[in-house]
């Protein structure tokens, strides 16, 4: 279905392809050590720091019997000598079957996919898209709720720069979703995404207060305020701790509600939430391995 294709945006996938990938991820979650990538080499090119995304990709490749090469920061590559992204991609493509790339510039992944002779997987490009995070988010939502339809998704925090929010919103627009957006005025969802939802005929509401809206949520999707996206440190200081989720705030929630977070967290989820049965963010990170297994196996033609 995805053989030989790049994955740059979640919109590169149809609803049917999303569901099919989730089914493959479910299979891998039950039996992760399948040598379906034996003989394949995957490059992980991370021009921006990462822990979970990079390590989960590398874990996925290794568990499936493939090999990994690449770099964890641009300073250890020829980029530090002035090499262009074009030349880096064309050079690395000589050595591998697939390139996984994270880059701080929006649109870098799309550019890479246009010049690369091997498929590109976007592992995050600036504040734009993070489609593999979205797939693990969808997997986690379906795993905990039993469905992707007729859910209320409450997104909290940095909705302006949060690429995970933008990607998840677009993916969930394929389903019958009600959105609740909670952010300070400085970090509200960009108008382009509101227009996108309006075009899909999907309901959404915007608020600045968190506690009043937990009770109606099926998924509470917390995000950190990203220091690295602010050009003005004073603006960051003003909003960095605007929302902090405590365990006591979950008492009004549905028993089936789950708290997700793309991680890393800073202060936005207190540690007392970790012991709650509603806390699912560490399992969510584990699900990233299965989702990325499914994506790579499909693109490399090892799963239909």
Hunting for tokens 């002779």 — which residue is that? 117
CB within 8 A of 145, min separation 6: which ones? 151, 218, 219, 256, 258
Choice among 54, 102, 261, 302 that is catalytic: 102
* Element spanning 165, H or E: helix 163-172
258 DSSP β-pair partners: 219
**Residue 102 known to bind ligand:** yes
**Residue 224 known to bind ligand:** yes
d(CA 259, CA 255): 11
**Residue 226 known to bind ligand:** no
Distances (CA, A) of 301 to 15, 210, 296, 297: 20, 44, 8, 6
Q: Is 142 one of the catalytic residues? A: no
d(CA 34, CA 304): 15
Degrees to nearest 5, angle at CA 126 with 79 and 58: 65
Q: Is 194 one of the catalytic residues? A: no
Choice among 20, 54, 130, 302 that is catalytic: 130
**Residue 81 known to bind ligand:** yes
Hunting for tokens 């991370």 — which residue is that? 46
CB within 8 A of 113, min separation 6: which ones? 6, 8, 119, 120, 122
Choice among 20, 44, 53, 134 that is catalytic: 53
**Residue 251 known to bind ligand:** no
Q: Is 303 one of the catalytic residues? A: no
Task: Report residue 175 as tokens.
Answer: 């389903």
**Residue 177 known to bind ligand:** no
Q: Is 53 one of the catalytic residues? A: yes
Longest CA span, the chain: 55
Choice among 52, 213, 238, 254 that is catalytic: 52
Q: Is 178 one of the catalytic residues? A: no
**Residue 67 known to bind ligand:** no
**Residue 264 known to bind ligand:** yes
> Catalytic site residues?
52-53, 81, 102, 130
* Residues making up the binding site: 52-53, 81, 102, 130, 133, 163, 224, 263-264
Give the annotated binding-site residues for L-aspartate: 81, 163, 224
Binding-site residues for carbamoyl phosphate, in ranges, read 52-53, 102, 130, 133, 263-264
């Amino acid at each position: 279905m995805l053989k030989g294709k790049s994955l740059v945006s979640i919109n590169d996938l149809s609803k049917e392809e999303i569901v099919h990938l989730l089914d493959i991820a479910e299979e891998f979650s039950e039996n992760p050590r399948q040598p379906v990538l034996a003989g394949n080499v995957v490059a992980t090119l991370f021009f921006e720091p990462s822990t979970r995304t990079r390590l989960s990709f590398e874990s996925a490749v290794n568990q499936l019997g493939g090999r990994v090469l690449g770099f964890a920061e641009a300073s250890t590559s020829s980029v530090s000598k002035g090499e262009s992204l074009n030349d880096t991609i064309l050079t690395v493509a000589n050595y591998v079957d697939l390139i996984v790339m994270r880059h701080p510039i929006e649109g870098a992944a799309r550019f890479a996919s246009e010049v690369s002779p091997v498929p590109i997987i976007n592992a995050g490009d600036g504040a734009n898209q993070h489609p593999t995070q979205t797939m693990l988010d969808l997997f986690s939502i379906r795993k905990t709720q039993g469905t992707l339809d007729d859910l209320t998704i409450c997104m909290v925090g940095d909705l302006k720069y949060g690429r995970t929010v933008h990607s998840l919103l677009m993916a969930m627009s394929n389903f019958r979703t009600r959105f609740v957006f909670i952010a300070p005025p400085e970090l509200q969802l960009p108008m382009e995404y509101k227009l996108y939802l309006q075009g899909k005929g999907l309901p959404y509401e915007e608020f600045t207060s968190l506690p009043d809206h937990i009770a109606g949520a099926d998924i509470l999707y917390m995000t950190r305020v990203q220091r690295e996206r602010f050009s003005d440190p004073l603006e960051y200081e003003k909003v960095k701790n605007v929302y902090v989720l405590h365990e006591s705030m979950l008492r009004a929630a549905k028993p089936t509600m789950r708290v997700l977070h793309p991680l890393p967290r800073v202060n936005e989820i207190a540690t007392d939430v970790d012991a709650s049965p509603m806390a699912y963010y560490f399992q969510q990170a584990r699900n990233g391995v299965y989702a990325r297994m499914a994506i790579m196996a499909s693109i490399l033609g090892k799963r239909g």
